[in-house]
Amino acid sequence: MLRRTSRRPTAGRTTSRRKTSCTMTPRRTPNWMTPRSRMWRGGPRSAPCGWTSWRTPTSRTRSTTRTQQCRSPRTSTKAPPSSSTSSTGRRPWRTCSRRTAGRTPRCCGRSSAAPRESHATTPATPWRAPKKIDLYDVRRRPWYIQGASSPKDMVIIVDVSGSVSGLTLKLMKTSVCEMLDTLSDDDYVNVASFNEKAQPVSCFTHLVQANVRNKKVFKEAVQGMVAKGTTGYKAGFEYAFDQLQNSNITRANCNKMIMMFTDGGEDRVQDVFEKYNWPNRTVRVFTFSVGQHNYDVTPLQWMACANKGYYFEIPSIGAIRINTQEYLDVLGRPMVLAGKEAKQVQWTNVYEDALGLGLVVTGTLPVFNLTQDGPGEKKNQLILGVMGIDVALNDIKRLTPNYTLGANGYVFAIDLNGYVLLHPNLKPQSNFREPVTLDFLDAELEDENKEEIRRSMIDGNRGHKQIRTLVKSLDERYIDEVTRNYTWVPIRNTNYSLGLVLPPYGTFYLQANLSDQILQVKLPISKLKDFEFLLPSSFESEGHVFIAPREYCKDLNASDNNTEFLKNFIELMEKVTPDSKQCNNFLLHNLILDTGVTQQLVERAWRDQDLNTYSLLAVFAATDGGITRVFPNKAAEDWTESPEPFSASFYRRSLDNRGYVFKPPHQDALLRPLELENDTVGILVSTAVEFSLGGRTLRPAVVGVKLDLEAWAEKFKVLASNRTHQDQPQKQCGPSSHCEMDCEVNNEDLLCVLIDDGGFLVLSNQNHQWDQVGRFFSEVDANLMLALYNNSFYTRKESYDYQAACAPQPPGNLGAAPRGVFVPTIADFLNLAWWTSAAAWSLFQQLLYGLIYHSWFQADPAEAEGNPEARESSCVMKQTQYYFGSVNASYNAIIDCGNCSRLFHAQRLTNTNLLFVVAEKPLCSQCEAGRLLQKETHSDGPEQCELVQRPRYRRGPHICFDYNATEDTSDCGRGASFPPSLSILVSLQLLLLLGLPPGPQAPVRAQASRRL
C-alpha cells in the first residue's frame, strides 16, 4: 500500500501534480510581502506589527488605533490519487520527493524614515525606551544605510600633527569610530593618519570590506593614534588617492570619497587635486574641522567645494553624531537626479530588529524631493528618506518544508556578500546593535566544493552538485564525513539565491495515507486502533511513547513538558474530525502510522526478550514521523534525549553513518564524575533502519539499545581477553599460550579502552576510569591520546563560532577620576591658541567649582543596570573536534619518552564508530605530554590582517549612482570662526561662580555653520 512520487529537486519550476505533491519553486520575493500599514512620527523610532501609533517630538502622549493584519494567500498542493492499490483499495503510505513548497510569507511591516527627524512605521507598538539615554537613531540602522546611497569606497585620513592634542584628538578618534558605523558590508574603507607622512593606522594596507570584524580592527587601532610632528595635507591626500586608484583589489567600484579630519591648516594642496582628481572630480572630498580653535577654515571649505564634497564642523562631542552621517545627503544627489531609474528595491542583509521582531530583511526604496523652488529654478536634489518593508525570517521559515526534508535536509539562502539569509545554523546571540553577518562558509565547515557552490550562487546561477563534505553533529562534539546533494537557484528580483541540501537517502520520504481507514469509521482520529498505543494507559505494556512537539493542529497547546504536550494532544484528538482543516494531515497521519509500526516492534520482538540477560537498560525506536518509543516504561525516567528525533544528535548521526553508533553519556571536564548508582547510566547504541522500495533507498527510522555501563564494563574485560565467554575459566598463560595482549590477565599492567570517533572514552578495563566514561580521552590519558593523533588515527578540525555572546568585563563600582574633568596635556599648556579656547575656560570653571563644592570631585557610583554596554556582546569562540583519520587497519607503535617508553596497539572495529586501544600503563611522569583540547574556548578568531589578503568572493549591488551631470555642487558647507573675547569669558565665569544672573550682553557667536 505505497504511493511513489519522484522528488528529485527541481529548481525554478513547478512540476506537474501528477508527479509530485511538493515542489521547490522559488517565487518572486516581492510576492512574499503583503504590507500592513503602520505610521509613527516624531524622532527616530521603530515599531513592529499590530498597532498604529502617533507621537509628537515634544509630547510623550500617543493615540493608538488597532489595524487589521493582512495575510497573504497560501497555496497548497494536494496529492494525487495513487494508481496502484491494495486489497483495501489504498496504501497506508506513499513515497514523495522532497521539494521546497512555494508558499507566500506575510510581511512584518512597512517603514519609512527621513534623514532629519522623523521615522514612520506601520503598524506599530509602544516604543520600548531604555532606562537611561535613548540613543537609537534610525539613520544608523542597516536598512537605512543601504537604502540611502550606493556602495562606497572610503578613505579616512586623520591629522595627527602636534597641534592636534588633548580634547581635539579625542574628538577625532570618536568621530572616526562614528564614521565607520555609517558603513555597511557593501562598502570598502581604510583609515590612515598623517603629519609629515601618511601611514595606515592598522595592519590593513588597502581598502577592505567594512564588515563588523574589520571595523573592529580599525576602531581599536584608532585609539592608539598619537599627535606629533607638523601638518602635511599633501602626504595625506596622496596616500588617499593612491588607495582609491588601486585596481588590483576587491572594492565597491561606485562612490569614491576621502574624509579628512583636522584642526585646520593653510595649505590647499591644489596640485594634488589637479594631478589625481581634476577635471572629472570622480572622488569627493569631505573635510571636517574638529575642535574649538581660531584657525582659518577657508582652505578646508575650498577643498570640499572644489571636489564635489562638503565641509563640516565638529566643535564638541555633541556634534559628532549628526555631522558624521550627513555626507549621505551629498552621496544621494546622483540617485535623486536619476529619477525613476533609481526607484529600484534594494534588499538588505539580515539584521536584528530593534523592537524584538527577531531577524528580518528589508526591501528599501529611496524617497526623493523632486520639487522646484520656483519657475526656472533647478530641481531639488535632496533625498527625503528611505521607505521599506520588513520580512521576518521566522515567517519565511514557516513556509519552508520543515519535516518532509528529513532530519539532515535543509533549505538555505545567501545574498551577494555570501551571508546567509536562511540556514539552520543561523542563531545569533548578540543584541540588535550589531549586524548579523554570518558567511555561508562560516555557517558550515568550509571546503573547496562549498566555495564553488557559494560563488555560483552569488553570480545568480542555477546548479546541482553532489559532494563529500564534513558536518558537525548537533551537539557539536562530533564530525562526520557525509555525502550531500546541493541544488541552488536565484530568487528573481532580489539579491538572494536559494539552496536545498539533501542526503542521498533523503531524496524520497514516506507519506502515510490513512484517509480510507479514517473515513470508514467516520469518527475522530482517536478511535483509530493505532491511536490507542499513544494513550498513557498502554505505556506499561507497550513502552513509553514520546511524541515530537510539532504543530499537528493549530489549536494544539504547546508545552516544554512532553507528558503535558501528549495530554494536550490526546484531548484535542478527542474533538477533531478526520477532515478538520485546522490540522496538518501529513504530520498527523505519519504520527499515527509510526505509532502502530513501533508498537509491532514491542509485540513481536521486545516484549518476549529478557533485557537483563543482555545487560540492557532499554531498547528504543525513533521515527521520522515524530515517535520515540522506549521499552520498558521505567527506562523513560532516565531518557534524556530530545523527544523531537530531528533535534536528537544520535538520530541524525545514525542516519549519516552505516553500522552501529555508540554514544557515551556526555561529561564535562568541570563536572563531577558519573555516579554509577541504581544502574541508570548507560551507553546509547543506535543504527538506522534502511530498506529499498522500487529501487529507492529510504531511512525512515533509527533503532537501538541502551547498555548498562557497569555490566558492560565487566563484559568488556572478557571480550578483550583470550576467553570467548564470561563463564569460561580464565586461561592460564604459558609457553604455548601468549597473554601479552590479554586485558584481563594483565589488568594491572595494560590499559584497554574503547574510544569513539570523537575521541571520547566509551569503556575501559580499569575500574577507576568507569566514572570518566564520556570524557574526552585526553583528559583521561593525555599521552596516549596525543600518540593516537600523531599517528593519524584522529584528525583535528578547528572552526570558529562567530555568533557567540560573551558577558562584558564587570566594571568597578566607583569612577576612577573626578566627574567631568578634562585633563590637558603639556602640549596644550604650551599652545597659546588652546588658552584662548573654550576648553581652557571649561577647565577653569571646573577648578573653581571644585574649590567651592567639595562634592564636585567625589566619584559617582557606576550603575550598570540598564546600560546597553553592560549587556552581552558578540564574540568569537574557537571550536575543536576530532574525527577518525586515514588509518583503518590495526597499528602498533611506541611512545618514546626516554626511559619510559610505552607500547600501544590500536585497531578500528568494523561496522562501528569505535577504536580499540591496548597500551602499557605509564611507568613514570616523564611520559606526560601536552594535552589536546576539545572544549570550546574564547578566541579572537583568525588573524584578520591575513584574511583580508585573500578575501572571499562577493558582488556588490547591481546598480550604482555616483555621478550625474546636472548635479548642483554649489551647496558645499560654509563656516566662519571668531576668537572668543577674553573679557566676556572671564565675566561670564565670575557671574556663574557668584550665582548672579548675567546682564544683557552682545550675543557671542563662536561659530556658524550651514548644513544641508
**Per-residue DSSP letters for 509-550?**
EEEE--HHHHHHHTS-GGGSTGGGGGSGGGHHHH-EEEE---
Is residue 736 a part of any domain in this protein?
A: no
> Considering 399, 427, 446, which residue would you say is the last residue of a domain?
399
Residue 17's nearest CA partner among 111, 108, 103, 81 is 81
Residue 611 grid cell: 533485557
Q: Which conformational region is residue 449 in: left (phi greater than 0), alpha (psi within -120 to 50 degrees), or beta?
A: alpha
Are 684 and 580 part of one and the same domain? yes
Task: Locate 621 and state its grid cell.
Answer: 525506536
Cα 149 from Cα 186, distance rounded (Å):
11
Instruction: Select from 350, 366, 399 the last residue of a domain.
Output: 399
Q: Are 49 and 34 in contact (CB under 8 A)?
A: no
Check if the beta carbon of residue 681 is closer than 8 Å to that of residue 657: no
- Please report, in angstroms and rounded to a whole number, the separation of the first and last CA atoms in the chain: 74
* pLDDT for res 679: 52
Compute the distance between CA of residue 666 and CA of residue 760 in angstroms, rounded to an integer: 9
Question: Are residues 332 and 343 located together in one domain of the fold?
Answer: no
Distance between CA atoms of 240 and 154, rounded to whole angstroms?
A: 9
Return the CATH number at 343.
Answer: 3.30.450
For the chain, how many structural domains are there in total? 5
Q: Coil, strand or helix: which one is 475?
A: coil
* 967: nearest Cα among 310, 326, 343: 310
The residues, ordered by sequence, that sit 6+ positions from 318 with a Cβ below 8 Å of its Cβ are none
> Residue 961: is it exposed, middle or buried by C-beta count within 10 angstroms (0-12/13-18/19+)?
buried
Is 427 contained in some domain? yes
Locus of grid cell 566544493:
449
Same domain, 166 and 305: yes
Q: Give the position of cell 584662548.
A: 836
Residue 892 near residue 788 (C-beta atoms within 8 A): no
Residue at which a domain ends, from 953, 973, 996: 953
Q: According to the model, what pLDDT value does residue 1003 have?
A: 42
State the virtual CA torsion across 302, 303, 309, 314 in degrees, nearest 10.
-80
Q: What three-state secondary structure class fits 260?
A: strand
**Torsion sign over Cα 890, 894, 895, 901:** positive
Q: Report how far residue 399's alpha carbon sits from residue 99's, in angstroms, rounded to the nearest whole number.
A: 12
Q: Are strands 93-97 and 2-4 parallel, antiparallel or unpaired?
A: parallel
- Cross-strand pairs, 489: 498
Whole-model pTM: value is 0.80
Residues 418 and 388 in one domain: no
Residue 247 lies in a domain: yes
Beta bridge partners of 902: 895
Question: CA-CA distances (angstroms) from residue 538 to 565, 701, 705?
Answer: 17, 22, 21
In this structure, what C-alpha cell is assigned to residue 832? 597659546
Residue at 964 is within a domain? no
246 & 322 share domain: yes
* Nearest CA among 517, 543, 705 for reference residue 611: 705
Taking the C-alpha atoms of residue 568 and residue 558, their distance in angstroms, rounded to an integer, is: 8
Task: Tell which residue, 84, 93, 95, 82, has the closest CA to residue 693.
Answer: 95
User: Looking at residue 40, what is its pLDDT?
Assistant: 30
User: Which CATH number characterizes residue 258's domain?
Assistant: 3.40.50.410
Flag whether 858 is in a domain: no
Angle, alpha carbons 867-869-871 (nearest 5°): 85
What does the pLDDT read at residue 64? 30
> Reduced to 3 states, what is the DSSP secondary structure of residue 118?
strand
Measured between alpha carbons, how far is residue 65 from residues 55, 112, 127, 128, 931 in Å? 13, 19, 15, 18, 64
3-state secondary structure of 663: strand
Q: Which long-range contacts (CB under 8 A, 24 or more apart) does 666-672 make?
A: 666/475, 666/477, 666/774, 667/772, 667/773, 667/774, 667/775, 668/935, 669/775, 669/776, 669/779, 669/935
d(CA 833, CA 980): 11
Q: How far apart are CA 295 and CA 288, in angstroms?
A: 13
Q: CB under 8 Å to 722, separation ≥6 — which residues?
A: 731, 737, 739, 742, 744, 745
DSSP 658: S
pLDDT value, residue 149: 87
DSSP 816-873: SS-TT-----HHHHH-HHHHTSHHHHHHHHHHHHHHH-GGGGSPPBPP-TT-GGGS-E
| Amino acid, single-letter form, for residue 296 | D
Is 134 a domain residue? no
* Domain housing 103: 94-126+339-399
Strands (DSSP E) contained in 375-519 are 382-392, 410-414, 420-422, 463-472, 479-490, 497-502, 508-512
**Cα dihedral 140, 146, 148, 153 sign:** positive
Alpha helices in 53-197 (DSSP H): 142-148, 167-180
- pLDDT of res. 987: 66
Confirm whether 394 is domain-assigned.
Answer: yes
Q: 404 and 382, same structural domain?
A: no
Question: Which grid coordinates belong to 484?
Answer: 550531500
Does residue 328 share a domain with residue 204?
yes
User: pLDDT value at position 50?
Assistant: 30
CA 709 to CA 717: how far, in whole Å?
A: 13
**pLDDT at position 330:** 94
Which residues of 180-282 form beta strands (DSSP E)?
188-194, 198-200, 208-209, 255-262
Which alpha helices (H) appear in 60-161, and where do they start and end? Answer: 142-148
* Cα separation, 271 vs 593, whole angstroms: 83
Q: Which one, of 432, 421, 364, lies nearest residue 394 by Cα?
A: 421
Measured distance CA(522)–CA(530) in Å, rounded: 15
Q: What is the SS3 assignment for 506?
A: helix
Note whether 378 and 411 are same-domain residues: no
What are the 10-residue block averages of pLDDT along the chain, 1012 residues in total?
38 34 32 32 33 29 31 35 40 49 43 58 64 74 85 96 91 96 93 96 95 93 94 95 94 95 92 95 96 88 96 93 92 90 86 81 88 78 88 88 92 94 86 77 96 96 97 94 97 91 93 65 55 84 94 90 90 78 88 90 91 93 96 93 95 96 80 53 94 89 94 83 58 55 75 95 90 92 91 93 76 42 50 50 50 44 42 81 85 77 90 93 68 88 90 89 91 62 60 54 39 34
* Residue 158 near residue 291, CB atoms below 8 Å: no
The span from the CA of 580 to the CA of 220, in Å, is 60
Residues 6+ apart with CB under 8 A from 177: 219, 222
Same domain, 437 and 353: no
Domain assignment present for residue 61? The answer is no
Shared domain check, 445 and 359: no
Q: Cell numbers at residue 4, please?
A: 511513489
295 exposed, middle or buried (CB, 10 Å; 0-12, 13-18, 19+)? middle
Are 490 and 572 contained in the same domain? no
Cβ atoms of 239 and 246 within 8 Å: the answer is no
600 and 688 in a single domain? The answer is yes
Gap between the Cα atoms of 747 and 456, Å rounded: 58
3-state secondary structure of 1000: coil
